[in-house]
Amino acid sequence: MTLNDHWGYCRSDDNWKSAGTVIDMLAKVASGKGNLLLNIGPEGDGSIPAESVRILKDLGKWMKINKECLFGTDIFTFDLQKREGHRGDWIPHGHLTAKGNDLYVIVRYWPGAEIIVTGLECKVLEIKMLGDNSNRINLRQERDKLTISGLPDNPPSFCPVLRLKCDRPPVVYCTGGMRNPGVAHPHYDPCTSDILV
């Protein structure tokens, strides 16, 4: 993947990816146990473009604190057609990765002092924000719905990561959205309809 739109240096290409976009790619790759080859497109004299340096420095700072959510992870993907191999799903706040009994929530879109994660098929025993030892985070779980509270109104850092220690390897079914009662539902949408007929 390129940091802008060209594999080599292109003076007129200013369409740089943000560090957050690269983190999105890294999270997706980590959830599938893959690798990401990131191209920097050096200039003609071999120097690295200043914007590439800035992006890579931002990524380096983030990785120093949060690398455990990307390295040595388990497959945590979902398949809309079959149940087999399905462990993960999506959430509106960002990305999910998993390792052993740990579920990582990479929060790209900070919702405020409270985050809700639904569809959990495990019990969450403890929660921690990577790089933060304040222990101010609270959790409340009612069946498959986890409410994480005690968070600051604004993100405490760029793309913070929450590590949820679970009682077993985590499985998440978000199954969000409205459901039509007259249509058979695939495995990823087992809920009864939200629509009254």
One-character DSSP codes across 56-88: HHHHHHHHHHHGGGTTTPBP----SS-STT---
Is 190 a member of any domain? no
Q: How many domains does the chain have?
A: 1
Question: How, if at all, do strands 94-99 and 102-107 pair?
Answer: antiparallel
Is 54 a member of any domain? yes
**The pLDDT of residue 43:** 87
Q: What is the pLDDT of residues 170-181, one digit of tens each?
A: 988 765 444 444
Is 62 a member of any domain? yes
For residue 40, the enclosing domain spans: 19-69
Is 193 a member of any domain? no
**The pLDDT of residue 20:** 93
**The pLDDT of residue 178:** 41
Helix (H, G, I), strand (E, B) or coil at 143: coil
**The pLDDT of residue 144:** 84
**The pLDDT of residue 177:** 41
pTM given for the model: 0.84
**The pLDDT of residue 174:** 60
Helix (H, G, I), strand (E, B) or coil at 148: strand
Is 61 a member of any domain? yes
Strand order across the 115-117 sheet: 115-117, 145-149, 138-142
**The pLDDT of residue 180:** 46
Is 30 a member of any domain? yes
**The pLDDT of residue 11:** 87
Residue segments in the chain with a per-residue pLDDT below the cut of 70: 79-86, 174-197
Quick one: tokens of 136? Answer: 């101010």
Axis-axis angle for helices 19-31, 50-66 (nearest 10):
50
**The pLDDT of residue 179:** 43
Is 180 a member of any domain? no
Instruction: Name every residue whose Cβ is closer than 8 Å to that of residue 133 and which is 6 or more positions away in sequence.
Output: none
**The pLDDT of residue 92:** 83
